[in-house]
Amino acid sequence: MQHQKLKQLGGVLLLSAAMSLSAQAQEKKANVVVIGTGGTIAGAGASSVNTAAYQSAVVPVDKIIAAVPEVSKIANVRGEQIFQIGSESFNDERLLKLGKRVSELLKQNDVDGIVITHGTDTIEETAYFLNLTLKSDKPVVVVGSMRPGTALGADGALNLYDAVLVAASKDAAGKGTLVVMNDEIHSGRDVTKTNSFKVETFRSPYGPLGYVVEGKLMFYRLPARPHTTQTEFDIDKINSLPRVDVVYNYGNVSRAAYDAFVTAGAKAIIHDGTGNGSVAEQIVPVLQEVRSKGVQVVRATRTGSGVVIRNGEQPDDKFDWVVTDDQNAQKARILTALALTKTNDSKELQKILWKY
Ligand code: ASP
């Protein structure tokens, strides 16, 4: 009798221990908000063989999440639609609106991480902007896909799953804004799109920070440059960005684009030069003129990687021009615009371009 009672009691204890364990597991699930902005990850094609010809930005974010029920096993996920656009249509206003909303969510105790579904064309600009302006250590992950969900070999579902996994993980905290695509975790600072249609398009000159493999995060390196909480830029305090334009260079380049941008009110021009930010002989006086009008001149390289050497190709000290570090022109535009919210001193601008 006594023995029977003890056995029963043991059973009850075991059952309640199991119940409290599963309650703990439930409790431990991170809360992740998925913000939808559009792009191919929200795209649909007319047939399963349309991998590159399709309509982007048509599927609502809740439907994208519902199509990957596996994510609910790793996090409590809810969707929020902020835009439904191709990322080529991102502008400064949208960037600020997105950044402010992300910042608002990050301040909530019931939000542990954020995923932003985004077109791949300008992921690198949005990710760099957030990496420089958010004031939180919580993981923020930007994700996209190269193929719409309707395509054979669609990459969006796994990319979303991996992105939620990273956003829900404490291991991803304090590493800046991340881009997760094609099994890889990249720093928002370094990553760039390098191919127009392949799924392995995202590359960082120094390699990814890590991988996501079968539900596991594997980090191998850390971002070396200051980001998020370590920068002087605060999304909550920025309400507009100064106009910064990019002029791509090539043989036979003329002054037309420089003049047009100055007339349009540019506060800085990124000279996306050949080689080491070189300046064609007919453009040297144009850039001097641009600078004499108070517009900052930033020399970048169109080569796709490498640093631009100050006073190398051109006497930057003499002309009062500045150079990029290793940022490509589109990233230099983001950083220069942010820098100009703080200073219009070319020496300070140069320090900022070298710092971030
Ligand atoms: N044009 C699309 C976009 O950036 C391409 C993509 O998402 O892959 O929104």
Per DSSP, which regions of the chain are E strands? 30-38, 75-85, 113-117, 140-143, 178-181, 184-187, 192-193, 202-203, 210-213, 216-219, 244-248, 268-273, 296-301, 322-323
Tokens of 252: 């036979």
Confidence of residue 235 (pLDDT cuts 50, 70, 90): very high
pLDDT at 154: 97
Domains of the chain: 29-230 (3.40.50.1170), 243-355 (3.40.50.40)
Give the mutation target among 88, 196, 199, 200 for probing the ligand 1 site: most ligand atoms within 8 A of CB: 88
Average pLDDT over residues 31-39: 98
pLDDT at 96: 98
**Cα–Cα dist 255/288, whole Å:** 12
Give the mutation target among 120, 196, 197 for probing the ligand 1 site: most ligand atoms within 8 A of CB: 120
Please tell me the least confidently modeled range out of 45-49, 83-87, 177-181, 196-200.
45-49
Q: What residue owns the CA closest to ligand 1's atom 7?
A: 119
Cα dist from 275 to 250, 251, 326, 334, whole Å: 10, 12, 13, 21
72-125 pLDDT, tens digit each = 999 999 999 999 999 999 999 999 999 999 999 999 999 999 999 999 999 999
User: Atom of ligand 1 at shortest distance to CA of 86?
Assistant: 9
Tokens of 103: 């910042």
Average pLDDT over residues 7-20: 50
Confidence of residue 5 (pLDDT cuts 50, 70, 90): low
Average pLDDT of the chain, as a whole number: 94
pLDDT at 51: 81
Residue at 5: amino acid letter: K
- φ, ψ at 78 (rounded to 5°): -135, 150
Q: What residue owns the CA closest to ligand 1's atom 1?
A: 86
What's the pTM?
A: 0.92
Does 11 score more than 90 pLDDT? Answer: no
Provide residues with CB under 6 Å of ligand 1. Answer: 38-40, 56, 86-88, 119-121, 144, 146
pLDDT at 50: 85
**Cα–Cα dist 83/123, whole Å:** 14
Q: At what angle do helices 92-106 and 123-133 cross, to 10 degrees?
A: 50
Confidence of residue 19 (pLDDT cuts 50, 70, 90): very low
Average pLDDT over residues 295-323: 98
pLDDT at 163: 98
Question: Strand, helix or coil at 154?
Answer: coil
Within 13 Å of residue 174, how many CA atoms lie on the same side as its CB? 5
Does 267 score more than 60 pLDDT? Answer: yes
Pick the closest to residue 171 from 138, 131, 202, 143 (CA basis).
Answer: 138
Does 174 score more than 80 pLDDT? Answer: yes
Q: What residue owns the CA closest to ligand 1's atom 8?
A: 120
User: Atom of ligand 1 at shortest distance to CA of 145?
Assistant: 8
Give the mutation target among 37, 50, 56 for probing the ligand 1 site: most ligand atoms within 8 A of CB: 56
User: Atom of ligand 1 at shortest distance to CA of 40?
Assistant: 7
Does 306 score more than 60 pLDDT? Answer: yes
> Across the chain, which distance is largest between two alpha carbons, in Å?
103
Task: Cite the active site residues.
Answer: 40
- State in Å: Cα 124 to ligand 1 middle: 12
Please tell me the least confidently modeled range out of 43-52, 230-239, 325-334.
43-52
- State in Å: Cα 342 to ligand 1 middle: 32
270-290 pLDDT, tens digit each = 999 999 999 999 999 999 999
Average pLDDT over residues 197-222: 97
pLDDT at 210: 98
Whether 143 contacts 212, CB under 8 Å: no
**Cα–Cα dist 349/354, whole Å:** 9
**Cα–Cα dist 212/217, whole Å:** 5
pLDDT at 52: 81
Average pLDDT over residues 241-250: 98
